[in-house]
Chain A
Amino acid sequence: EAGVTQFPSHSVIEKGQTVTLRCDPISGHDNLYWYRRVMGKEIKFLLHFVKESKQDESGMPNNRFLAERTGGTYSTLKVQPAELEDSGVYFCASSHGRIEAFFGQGTRLTVV
């Protein structure tokens, strides 16, 4: 069974540019989560989808971040325009129930 897959694994962009991160969850998992880890800090929750609906987006830092989940399958997280403080590792996770979440390998975003 394929795990959670994230694209790209690394991205380096200039301040003001746009970047789109993609997450393909495990097939059949209704719950999809986005997290971010800024250097030196703990992993922080960004938002939670149940199928195609946003269940909780309380962790989204500001309106420069837009997440979508098409047809309850893959999800994208767009940052527009990117700022220096957006640098970090973005993780996606999915779960069938609410407990055991499986994480992707992460996308390392560097904004210069």
Chain B
Amino acid sequence: EDQVTQSPEALRLQEGESSSLNCSYTVSGLRGLFWYRQDPGKGPEFLFTLYSAGEEKEKERLKATLTKKESFLHITAPKPEDSATYLCAVASGGSYIPTFGRGTSLIVHP
């Protein structure tokens, strides 16, 4: 059974203070690792898909990386508007149905 563990559960940063969120996973045959952003009262918003170890993707202040056991979401010089819950999910085997982690709640203080 696929397992996804995200850490930390919550993270408070000052504006401009760079940091990383971790997603550790256990799957048999990774099809894809997904990062989503979720704002309060809204559904998850797709950010990235990573397919193989060594792959990296960037979007504005966010950069996602992938190894065979974990993924990191690096946030460079965050702004208050980056405050949200960040969800990691993996899909394996013959399906693209993702298994989600519980998320990391990020708060960026001005």
A, B: real partners? yes
Interface residues of A (CB under 8 A from B): 4, 33, 41-45, 48, 56, 91, 93, 98-106
C-alpha gap A43/B102 in the complex (Å): 7
Given contacts A93-B43, A105-B42, contact A56 B96 (CB under 8 A): no
Taking a contact as CB atoms under 8 Å apart, the answer to whether B32 and A104 are in contact is no
11 contacts between A and B (CB under 8 A): A42-B103, A43-B44, A43-B87, A48-B97, A91-B43, A93-B44, A102-B46, A103-B45, A104-B43, A105-B42, A106-B41
Question: In the complex, which residue of chain B has the Cβ closest to the Cβ of A98?
Answer: B96
C-alpha gap A41/B9 in the complex (Å): 12
Residues of A within 8 A of B49 (CB): 99-100
Taking a contact as CB atoms under 8 Å apart, the answer to whether B97 and A4 are in contact is no
Q: How large is the interface on B (under 10, 10 to 19, 20 to 34, 35 or more residues)?
A: 20 to 34
C-alpha gap A98/B94 in the complex (Å): 11
Question: In the complex, which residue of chain B has the Cβ closest to the Cβ of A101?
Answer: B46
Residues of A within 8 A of B44 (CB): 43, 91, 93, 103
**Is the C-beta of B86 less than 8 angstroms from some C-beta in chain A?**
no
> Which of B36, B41, B96 is within 8 Å of A99, CB to CB?
B96
**Is the C-beta of B25 less than 8 angstroms from some C-beta in chain A?**
no
Taking a contact as CB atoms under 8 Å apart, the answer to whether B42 and A44 are in contact is no
Residues of A within 8 A of B87 (CB): 43
Residues of B within 8 A of A104 (CB): 43
Residues of B within 8 A of A41 (CB): 102
